[in-house]
């Protein structure tokens, strides 16, 4: 998507503090962290929201969780939260699926 902030970060058109780059997702620090460690894990393929997912997106969504586990291990986190915001009423601010990894 041409106007998607996260697509621009993935394409490195906008600077970001990237902490992880995998084949299917990118992880970068949230610019407004809600915890000491607040990483957004974003699929390289644009999916607007969980609300707009299709059945073929299941494997990619599982991959985001796997990547979150790898990032947490690299950061040495022993406990953390994983969180999706779904739709505006669910707190989603950017129209690109993303998984929040949060830890104190």
Selected catalytic residue, list 37, 46, 85, 98: 98
Eight-state DSSP code of residue 90: G
Other Cβ atoms within 10 Å of 88 Cβ, number = 11
Characterise 91 by phi-psi region: left (phi > 0), alpha (psi -120 to 50), beta (else). Answer: left
User: Does the active-site annotation cover 98?
Assistant: yes
Q: In what order do the strands lie in the sheet with 37-43?
A: 18-21, 25-29, 37-43, 99-103, 81-84
Cite the active site residues: 98
């Amino acid at each position: 998507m041409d106007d998607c902030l996260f697509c621009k970060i993935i394409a490195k058109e906008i600077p970001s503090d990237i902490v992880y780059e995998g084949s299917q997702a990118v992880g970068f620090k949230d610019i407004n962290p809600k915890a000491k460690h607040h990483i957004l894990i974003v699929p390289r393929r644009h999916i607007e929201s969980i609300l707009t997912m299709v059945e073929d997106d299941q494997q990619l969504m599982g991959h985001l969780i796997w990547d979150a586990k790898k990032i947490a291990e690299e950061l040495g986190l022993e406990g953390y939260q994983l969180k999706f915001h779904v739709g505006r009423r669910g707190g989603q601010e950017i129209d690109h699926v993303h998984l929040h990894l949060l830890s104190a």
